[in-house]
Structure 1
Amino acid sequence: MANTTVAGALSIHGQNPQFLVETVIRNRIWESVFWKEHCFALTAETLIDKAIELKFIGGVYGNQRPTEFLCLLLKLLQIQPEKEILVEYLRADEFKYLRALAAFYIRMTFRAVDVYELLEPLLKDYRKLRYRNMAGYSLTYIDEFVDQLLTEERVCDIILPRMTKRGILEENGEIGPRQSRLLDALEGKSEHGSYRSRSESRSRSRSRTPQSDAGSRFVSRSPSRSRSPSLPRFRSRSRSISPDRMELE
């Protein structure tokens, strides 16, 4: 049968993979024209051509009609391709809708640790996506779509399986802390600034040493004359250095 899950498919979250899509939406997908005409006998290889032709993502629209995006998602759940194939889908940078489809499937079927490790790098992808729902078309971005997959309970009218929070996985040592590009950039600047301040302080200290030696020579001869000129020199230098340090900090 065209609507049955492939033989030998593994259960996902304790049930048939196709049952991850709600019954009402699943029946509408099976009854849709796109499913009957374009999704019949699709394989993991031929499905790529259909995913490349996608023009938008979304759930249902109009008179509860499923989008082609949902149809291909259900087809992936039906044929259950191997993990290596899904990762290759995800790495296809030139085909953004294929990447979005693979991200959705990975979120629904993979373990929580694998979901975070595979999808979080996509938060750096800022390309545009067209989104279609009951209200019509709107504009979104790949990073926003992936963030929805990681944080929200329903995306594209599909209830996502529950997933362990990232903080709990970090406490259990199953996953490392999330790397922030902004934090790395700030730390890089602060380290660079501290290095400059240290180098400047060393150069100033070296430049002061011969003058201090000269001052010590004059102290032995006439202490009153040597101390009076040395104080204003030290103060004038401290005033000129402080604005530079403020800028570096």
Structure 2
Amino acid sequence: MASHRADASTLLDNRGYSGPLIRGINPATLFEKAVRDRITDSYYWKEQCFGLNAATICDRAVELTSIGGTYGVSEKPTPFLCLAFKMLQLNPERDIILEYLNYTDPGSDNETAEAPAENGVVKTRGDFKYLRALAAFYVRLTFEPVEVYKTLEPLLVDYRKLKRRVRDSFVLTYMDQFVDDLLTKDRVCGTSLWKLPPRQQLEDLDLLDERVSPLADELEELDKDSDEGDHASEAGSRRSMSAG
């Protein structure tokens, strides 16, 4: 057991911590102490997370079947949360995180065309949706505000289903809803998130371009059809009145 704890001891020891910082702080402190303790005491952490690196953590992540924070009366940490904490320990480079977001099984026969990459993020694919969700959660925890928006917003057109583990059951959600929660909420998956500046504030500072909704063209077309329908209806009414 001591050897398993040693895998996290350097990260958790604030007194002598000298590793990489995230926004000037020890990455471990991005999770509350109670959650950290539950993670490092859990069976999944000791048996499945010990010795993982930036490559082998993918093997664990592709086995995930749900997202979530803690569950049960004793508030056990989900595998999703344990792997997120492991990523804080590993502190992968940005390019590796983008690989997680877009990871495709080399043996996959899926030939569906992918949407064009935006800010390095392929919008709709990546065979392993829970690996993508894990990477998105890590982005929200660790990236700077502008990069959070630029990296996560392309995922708002990924509408795949996700299972989310709650206290005593599972509920259905969707990738775009999960990403929207990351962009708009201060607590997700049992974790308090640092305050993300409103998008409008970053636009006003010229740090972000105005976001165009992916549904904008469809809405414009609907408005056009509606206007044409109204004009046709008015013309029909006038003809009826004239005939009368």
TM bin, normalised by shorter chain, reads 0.7 to 0.9
1:45 and 2:55 are equivalent in the alignment: yes
Q: CA deviation at 1:133?
A: 1.6
Show the counterpart of 2:154.
121
Kept after mapping to 1: 8 A contact 2:157/2:214: no
CA shift digits 1:9-36 (9 cap, x unpaired): 4211321011101100001100101111
Kept after mapping to 2: 8 A contact 1:5/1:79: no
Q: 3-state DSSP class of the match of 1:2?
A: helix
- Range 6-15 or range 41-50, more displaced: 6-15
Distance 2:219 2:19 in 1: 47
Aligned length: 201
Show the counterpart of 2:40.
30
Question: Aligned AA for 1:164?
Answer: P
Per the normalisation by structure 2, the TM-score is: 0.76
1:154 and 2:184 are equivalent in the alignment: no
User: % of aligned pairs identical?
Assistant: 47
Question: Aligned AA for 1:90?
Answer: L
1:65-84 alignment to 2 at 5 Å? 65-84=76-95
Kept after mapping to 2: 8 A contact 1:9/1:80: no
Which structure 2 residue ranges, 5 or more long, are not aligned? 1-5, 104-125, 237-244
Larger radius of gyration: 1
Which structure 1 residue ranges, 5 or more long, are not aligned? 197-238, 244-249
1:93-112 alignment to 2 at 5 Å? 93-112=126-145
Kept after mapping to 1: 8 A contact 2:45/2:82: yes
Query: CA 1:172–1:66 in structure 2 vs 1: closer, same or farther (change >3 Å)?
Result: same
Structure number with the higher helix fraction is: 1
Show the counterpart of 2:215.
182
Distance 1:133 1:171 in 2: 38
Distance 2:182 2:85 in 1: 17
Distance 2:67 2:169 in 1: 12
Q: Give the alignment partner of residue 171 of structure 1, picking from 173, 193, 204.
A: 204
Distance 2:59 2:69 in 1: 20
CA shift digits 1:172-216 (9 cap, x unpaired): 10000111122222335678999x9xxxxxxxxxxxxxxxxxxxx
CA RMSD of aligned residues (A): 2.5
Per the normalisation by structure 1, the TM-score is: 0.74
Distance 1:114 1:77 in 2: 17
Distance 1:192 1:84 in 2: 44
Query: CA 1:193–1:141 in structure 2 vs 1: closer, same or farther (change >3 Å)?
Result: closer
